Amino acid sequence: MDRPIKVLQDKKSYLDLRRQEKVTLLEILDRALEKGVVISGDIVISVADVDLVYLGLKVLLSSVETMERLRGAPMPGATEEPT
């Protein structure tokens, strides 16, 4: 199954893909941990939403900035689907 995210990149090295996966994971956590249908059954396994989302944002900022620095250029114009 394709992962849904489109990250702004003009080329995909191995490191780019690894970073893209990280950002995808954070985007999923941003939604699936904090949002969605909540009808708690007997068990809802512990979810550290606030802290994790905050943590995620810090990592996200860092990852976007790192992507840009490593490429040595501002965000390019092309948007690509991941492979």
Partner 1 sequence: MTLKLYAYGVIDSNEKMEESIKGLSEASVYNIPYRDIGIVVSDLDPQAQIKNEESIMRHEEVVEALMDRFTILPMRLYTVFSGREDLLLKVKDHYEDFIKNLDRVRNKAEFGIKVIWAGNIIKERIINAHKSESPSADPTRAGTKFMKEKFEKYKIDKEFEEEADRCIAILDGFLNRIASEKKIEKLKTDNLLLSASYLVDNEKRDDFETAFEVLRNSQGGDLKYLLSGPWPPYNFITLSHPEDGKLGGLDLVETLLQHKSSGRER
Q: By CB under 8 A, name the binding residues for partner 1.
A: 1, 3-8, 18, 23-25, 27-49, 51-52, 55, 57-58, 60-61, 64-65, 68, 74-75, 77, 79
Using the minimum distance from each CB to partner 1, give the nearer residue, 40 or 83.
40
Least distance from C-beta 81 to partner 1, angstroms?
Answer: 11
- What's the DSSP call for residue 26? H
Least distance from C-beta 60 to partner 1, angstroms?
Answer: 7
- The rounded distance, in Å, linking the Cα atoms of 10 and 79 is 7
Using the minimum distance from each CB to partner 1, give the nearer residue, 55 or 70.
55
- Are 26 and 56 in contact by the 8 Å Cβ rule? The answer is yes
The amino acid at residue 2 is D
Looking from the CA of 83 toward its CB, the CA atoms found within 13 Å total 7
Using the minimum distance from each CB to partner 1, give the nearer residue, 11 or 74.
74
- Are 75 and 11 in contact by the 8 Å Cβ rule? The answer is no
